[in-house]
A and B are shown apart, each in its own frame.
Chain A
Amino acid sequence: MRRVPADAWVALVLLVACGFFLNDLLATEGTGAYVKTTTLPTALVVVLALLALILLGGSLLRPAARPADALAGAELRTGLIRVGTMIAWTTAFIFALPWFGYLASSAVFLVGANVLYGNRRPVSVIAIAVIVPVALLLFFEKFMIVLLPSSRLFG
Chain B
Amino acid sequence: MDVLLAGFDQVANVTALAMIVVGLTIGIVIGAIPGLNVPLAVAIALPITFNLNPIAGLGMLVGIYKGGTYGGSLSAILINVPGTPAAAATALDGAELTRQGKSGKALKMSLYASIIGEFISDLALIAFAIPMALFALRIGPPEIFSLGIFALTLVGVLSQGNMIKGLIAGAMGLFLSTFGVDPLTGDFRLTFGVRKMAGGWAFIALVIGVFAVAEVLSVLERRLGQRPLAGTVRLSDPDHSLTRNDWRRCLPVIARSSLIGVFIGAVPGLGAAVSAYLNYGITRNLSREPERFGKGALEGVAAAESGNNAVTGATFVPLLTLGIPGDVITAIMLGAFIVHGLIPGPVLFEQQGDFIAAFFIMMVLATFLHLVIARAGMAAFIQTTRVPNSVLFPIVITLSVTGVFVSTNSFFDIYVMLGFGVLGYLMKKFGFPVAPLLIGFILGPLVEVGLRQSMIMSRGGLDIFVTRPISAVFLFLAVATIAVVAWREFRSKKTGP
Binding site for B on A (CB under 8 A): 6-7, 10, 14, 21, 24-25, 28, 30-35, 37-38, 40-41, 44-45, 47-48, 51-52, 54-55, 58, 62, 64-65, 67, 71, 79-80, 82-83, 86-87, 90-91, 93-94, 97-98, 102, 106, 109-110, 113-114, 116-119, 124, 128, 132-133, 136, 140, 144-146, 148-149
By a CB distance below 8 angstroms, the chain B residues around A65 are: 497
Contact of B182 with A by CB under 8 A: yes
By a CB distance below 8 angstroms, the chain A residues around B394 are: 109-110, 113-114, 116-117, 119, 128
Q: Distance in Å from the Cβ of A10 to the closest Cβ of chain B? A: 5
By a CB distance below 8 angstroms, the chain A residues around B216 are: 86
Q: A111's closest neighbor in chain B, by CB? A: B394
Inter-subunit contact B175/A118 (CB<8 Å): no
Q: Distance in Å from the Cβ of A32 to the closest Cβ of chain B? A: 5
24 A-B interface contacts by CB (under 8 A): A10-B432, A24-B192, A25-B189, A32-B185, A37-B182, A41-B190, A55-B164, A79-B220, A83-B221, A87-B418, A90-B418, A94-B411, A97-B401, A106-B402, A110-B395, A114-B390, A118-B225, A119-B391, A124-B391, A133-B398, A136-B398, A136-B402, A146-B44, A148-B402
Inter-subunit contact B390/A117 (CB<8 Å): yes
Interchain CA distance A109-B184 in the complex, whole Å = 42
Contact of B202 with A by CB under 8 A: no
Contact of B479 with A by CB under 8 A: no
Task: Give the residue among B164, B393, B399 with the most A Cβ atoms within 10 A.
Answer: B164
Inter-subunit contact B430/A118 (CB<8 Å): no
Interchain CA distance A144-B182 in the complex, whole Å = 33
By a CB distance below 8 angstroms, the chain B residues around A110 are: 394-395, 398
Chain B contacts with A in 447-497, Cβ cutoff 8 A: 447-448, 451-452, 455-456, 459-460, 493, 497
Contact of B1 with A by CB under 8 A: no
Interchain CA distance A107-B44 in the complex, whole Å = 26
Interchain CA distance A128-B398 in the complex, whole Å = 11
Task: Give the residue among B165, B221, B397 with the most A Cβ atoms within 10 A.
Answer: B221
Contact of B217 with A by CB under 8 A: yes
Known: A14-B168, A90-B418, A144-B44. A128 touches B220 (CB 8 A): no
Interface size class on chain B is 35 or more
List the count of A-B residue pairs having beta carbons below 8 Å apart.
Answer: 162
Inter-subunit contact A106/B217 (CB<8 Å): no
By a CB distance below 8 angstroms, the chain B residues around A86 are: 216-217, 220
Q: Distance in Å from the Cβ of A105 to the closest Cβ of chain B? A: 9
Inter-subunit contact B185/A31 (CB<8 Å): yes
Q: B448's closest neighbor in chain A, by CB? A: A40
Partner of B390, one of A35, A45, A48, A119: A119
Interchain CA distance A94-B415 in the complex, whole Å = 7
Chain B contacts with A in 177-216, Cβ cutoff 8 A: 178, 182, 184-185, 187, 189-190, 192, 213, 216
Interchain CA distance A122-B152 in the complex, whole Å = 48
Known: A55-B164, A82-B221, A87-B418. A37 touches B395 (CB 8 A): no
By a CB distance below 8 angstroms, the chain A residues around B459 are: 34
Q: Distance in Å from the Cβ of A136 to the closest Cβ of chain B? A: 6
Q: B459's closest neighbor in chain A, by CB? A: A34
Q: B417's closest neighbor in chain A, by CB? A: A94
Q: B432's closest neighbor in chain A, by CB? A: A10
By a CB distance below 8 angstroms, the chain A residues around B452 are: 32-35, 40
Inter-subunit contact B493/A62 (CB<8 Å): yes
Known: A34-B452, A55-B164. A94 touches B414 (CB 8 A): yes
By a CB distance below 8 angstroms, the chain B residues around A113 are: 393-394, 397-398
Interchain CA distance A44-B172 in the complex, whole Å = 8
Partner of B431, one of A35, A64, A98: A64
By a CB distance below 8 angstroms, the chain B residues around A148 are: 402, 405-406
Chain B contacts with A in 402-432, Cβ cutoff 8 A: 402, 405-406, 411, 414-415, 418, 422, 425, 430-432
Interchain CA distance A38-B493 in the complex, whole Å = 38
Inter-subunit contact A94/B175 (CB<8 Å): no
